[in-house]
Chains A and B, each alone.
Chain A
Amino acid sequence: MIRLDKLSRKFQVGNQVVHALDEVDLEINTNDYVSIMGVSGSGKSTLLNILGLLDTPTSGDYILSGINTSKMDDDEMAGIRSAKIGFIFQSFHLIPRLTAFENIEMPMILSGISPNERSMKVDSALEKVGLTDRADHKPEQLSGGQRQRVAIARSIVMEPDVLLADEPTGNLDTTSGNEVVKLIEELNSAGLTLIVVTHDREMGERSNRLIELRDGKIINDQRKP
């Protein structure tokens, strides 16, 4: 479902060009569970942002579900982010002045879903992440693990095809980290394509496929036997 052809992303820093991604070729299948590892600065986040259409490549092509994204305008990309892609981040990225319920509701508000349907879907997402009793809590009233579960609920409420997670356990203790990992793995079992950036080798090895980056290049690509 995902294909990258000689995809590069360069950044101009002063008079120096940084190759965050350097002619990457990659294919990812539907419902796969992929981990991306590599030292800091190797291009993991850049890859994930491009996959999530938050960033665009300097050269090369990104084909998503058979559609070349390089010709899309901002509205089309926003539409795909809304309908097909879920994001979760290391630092949760919830809107602090909104409750858990409202945070989860937000993607549906943006795509114009009616309040009744929103309410039903938020409830079921909250149930999936086990936070039904925290619906009216603000992020500051929740623990790190709970916040990440709200973020997961928000990322799946639009029923996307792909879940992109950038070090989702990076800010969590082991116990809540494990809960979060278990939760997203369950979503993967239920049919979601899961791509996780991680520092944690143990977590990386749980996936079906482990890709290692260095200096913007794939240096290792292993499938579980």
Chain B
Amino acid sequence: MKFKDIFLFSSFSIVSQKMRSFLTAMGIAVGVVCVIFLTSMGQGLQDFMVSQFTQFGSNIIAVQPGKTQTLGMPTGVHGTIKPLSFDDAEAIERLPLIDYAVPVSGASGEIESDTRLRRSLVVGTGADYDIIVGADTMLGQYLPKDNPKTPRSFAVLGPKMRDELFGNENPLGKTVRVNSQRFRIVGVLPPKGDFLGFDLDDAVYIPIAKFNTMFNKNGFQEIDVVHNENATTEEVVASVKRLMISRHGGEDVTITTQADMIETLGEIMDWLKFTVAAFGGISLLVGGVGIFTIMTVAVNERKSEIGILRAIGASQSRIREVFLLESIFLSIFGAFLGLIAGFMIINIALYVYPDLPIAVAWEYITYSVFISIFIGLFAGFLPARSASELDPIEALRSD
């Protein structure tokens, strides 16, 4: 029997039971749709997050106070953490490989123009923060290079903040009040979008010394460091670490690189995708149980047909092939339905919500199709074997 003929024969019995085959295949299809949709969401989310990190360039590292605990080691060598100071930032900036070291802190505050008030993000920074966020097309300028400890009361607005407070007016030279303190607006940043849930566009940027007084803070949340493009991240991290240890008398800072962030993020996302794929896998398995059930029913219903085939020259292994193939066809058909439905759902979702972070995770889709075929094989194995082991005379008698 040629493969094509077994194929025709098997697919014919599937076609002759259209409704049942369709419903059985649906089990697998649902699984494939789950895998496609969920992993694509995961992939989209990952791509989105990575793009969030990388939009600020890969030569940026962040220095934060406190040592990340590893293996339950106590924080700091002497159990104390020194806050990050202006002197720390200056010292880092003076290191040979470093171009800029800019302190950054953020908090929520009340921002007012003459007519309007918003509760939003207040960012305390130094003069070169515009370089870190890659703001090359500003209106006006960024905070000037005053003495960082005694800066003047200047402020820069995010574009959305400008729109909210001033509409279409030119805000340069106007006054904005942040938690009741007056600042003169010297610039407006170009749109930068969200960064990890913070809307950088809906923020006001003030000198960090003013920020610390306003929020009664001592030290910075972090120092963002831009290093020379030619230096490797490793050597930069090492030199910053050495400096901070000598300045603070112990390792009491955490240095995070883009690579670290993306890697951690990647790990989380891989887990997410895997978990989600496992859910899809479970629904594939459920589909497999459906195929098993239907194939068992089919073997029972078609006993007399099996007897006939044996009588006209089919061997046991041939009978097994026919039923195995039928089971695999059901699962391939299901996977095919699932692929079509999955891509339709993704496209509809993108049509309705164009911003949805969806990116097709091809590897998982490929897995899901192969797994479907294997599931068909496994689900069909026992029914096909019991079909092949039927006594042909018994089978013929069961009309």
Q: A54-B392, A74-B316, A110-B1 are in contact. Are A93 and B311 (CB under 8 A)?
A: yes
Please report which residues of chain A, range 83-99, place their CB below 8 angstroms from some CB of chain B when the two chains form the complex: 83, 87, 89, 91, 93-95, 97-98
A79 within 8 A of B: yes
**A112, B305: Cα distance in complex, Å:** 19
Q: A54-B392, A93-B396 are in contact. Are A112 and B1 (CB under 8 A)?
A: yes
B393 within 8 A of A: yes
**A147, B313: Cα distance in complex, Å:** 20
A95 near B317 with CB under 8 A, answer no
B310 near A106 with CB under 8 A, answer no
Mark interface residues in B8-31 (1 if CB within 8 Å of A CB, else 0): 110011001000000000000000
A82 proximity list for chain B (CB < 8 A): 312-314
B2 within 8 A of A: yes
Q: How far is the CB of B151 from chain A (nearest CB, A)?
A: 87
A142 within 8 A of B: no
B318 near A97 with CB under 8 A, answer no
**A55, B310: Cα distance in complex, Å:** 11
Q: How far is the CB of B48 from chain A (nearest CB, A)?
A: 52
A54 proximity list for chain B (CB < 8 A): 310-311, 392-393
A97 near B310 with CB under 8 A, answer no
A89 proximity list for chain B (CB < 8 A): 396
A91 proximity list for chain B (CB < 8 A): 399
A110 near B312 with CB under 8 A, answer yes
Q: Which residue of B lies closest to A76 (CB)?
A: B315
**A155, B399: Cα distance in complex, Å:** 20
Mark interface residues in A106-149 (1 if CB within 8 Å of B CB, else 0): 11011110000000000000000000000000000000000000
A107 near B313 with CB under 8 A, answer yes
**A158, B317: Cα distance in complex, Å:** 21
B393 near A49 with CB under 8 A, answer yes
A44 within 8 A of B: no
**A89, B317: Cα distance in complex, Å:** 24
B9 near A52 with CB under 8 A, answer no
Tell me how many residues of B have a C-beta within 8 Å of chain A: 26
Q: Which residue of A lies closest to B8 (CB)?
A: A109
Q: How far is the CB of B9 from chain A (nearest CB, A)?
A: 7
**A183, B243: Cα distance in complex, Å:** 106
Please report which residues of chain B, range 343-399, place their CB below 8 angstroms from some CB of chain A when the two chains form the complex: 392-393, 396, 399
B309 within 8 A of A: yes
**A55, B393: Cα distance in complex, Å:** 7
**A106, B399: Cα distance in complex, Å:** 19
B396 near A106 with CB under 8 A, answer no
B308 near A95 with CB under 8 A, answer yes
B158 within 8 A of A: no
Q: How far is the CB of B305 from chain A (nearest CB, A)?
A: 5
A154 within 8 A of B: yes
Known: A107-B312, A158-B313; 14 extra A-B contacts, CB below 8 A, are A54-B311, A75-B317, A78-B315, A81-B311, A82-B313, A83-B313, A87-B311, A93-B308, A94-B308, A95-B305, A97-B16, A107-B313, A109-B5, A110-B314
Q: Which residues from chain A sit less than 8 Å from chain B, CB to CB? A: 49, 52, 54-55, 74-75, 77-79, 81-83, 87, 89, 91, 93-95, 97-98, 106-107, 109-112, 154-155, 158
The 10 A-B residue pairs with the shortest CB-CB distance, nearest first, are A82-B313, A78-B315, A107-B312, A97-B16, A109-B5, A81-B313, A87-B311, A75-B315, A74-B316, A93-B308
